[in-house]
Amino acid sequence: MTLPKVLTIAGSDSGGGAGIQADLKTFQELDTYGLSVITAITAQNTVGVQAAHPVSLNILNDQLESVFSDIKVDAVKTGMLVSADYIQSISTYIRDYNVNNLVIDPVLGSTTGSELTKNEAIDELKNSLWPLATVVTPNLVEASRMLGWASINTVSEMEKAVYQLHEWGAKSILLKGGHLPGGESVDLLYDGHTLTHFPMKRIDQPHTHGTGCTLASAIAAGLAKGHSIHEAVSTAKDFVTCAIREGFSIGRGSGPLNHSAYRHRQ
């Protein structure tokens, strides 16, 4: 039996709801084989991020070399990338090993407000890694910060933002509208030719920890299996919708998604 192989390059979440842990659960549920390179170790739970400690640059490079020198990876998903030096190394490996499917989840902070990526890394992300991406998946807060805008509050503003974000060189941009006000969430996918709207009624569910990580990982799994970007995004959104609907409480704060919900529905 041969499974498509997907690598996540991200931080570890000790609470298990986001980061590397959410990525590996997603890969498993979508019938792909998950590999991991850890960029940082966080002290994190359902209440928030209490601490974040990057691994050394040497350890990061050792992990990258171990994976890429031995295993042909079908897709890579990146999350928490920490600093410009880390991004430079990751970009070099992505280029040198001819990774065809790269999904960037530009993690600039957590849903509880903890800043996880240093400011100086943003330019490096845009200049070196972004142009290698099959798709980048910012939320509205991340997109606003990268564009230097105060905020993005309407679908019209989202459309302007997604076009500008695409100019930085990624093949596609999926701008996530979960922070839009009102009862409907709209995601926009722009592939350089077609702008696709993915509207969805907002789900009344407090347990949504790890949503962004899970969505990006599900897209990477789809791309690894040979799906088009539109097919991969559509399936990923179905996967995440099921996972949110059946999210559950395991602590005192925002609980995790239920990563097995999509399989149970099937």
Q: Which residues of 5-16 are buried (b: 16+ CB within 10 A; e: fewer)?
A: bbbbbbbbbebb
CA-to-CA distance for 156 and 158, rounded, in angstroms? 5
CA-to-CA distance for 202 and 185, rounded, in angstroms? 6
**Strand 102-104 with 33-44, pairing:** unpaired
In the annotation, is 182 catalytic? no
In the annotation, is 208 catalytic? yes
In the annotation, is 211 catalytic? yes
Catalytic residue among 5, 25, 77, 176: 176
Catalytic residue among 15, 177, 178, 210: 210
Return the biggest CA–CA distance within the chain: 50
Catalytic residue among 212, 222, 247, 255: 212
CB-CB contact of 244 with 256 (8 Å): no
- Whole-angstrom CA distances from 48 to 71, 187, 207, 237 are 35, 25, 13, 25
Catalytic residue among 117, 213, 225, 242: 213
In the annotation, is 201 catalytic? no
In the annotation, is 176 catalytic? yes
CB-CB contact of 11 with 19 (8 Å): yes
Catalytic residue among 8, 39, 42, 208: 208
Phi/psi for 52 (5° steps) reads -140, 125
Catalytic residue among 211, 222, 242, 255: 211
**Positions marked catalytic:** 176, 208, 210-213
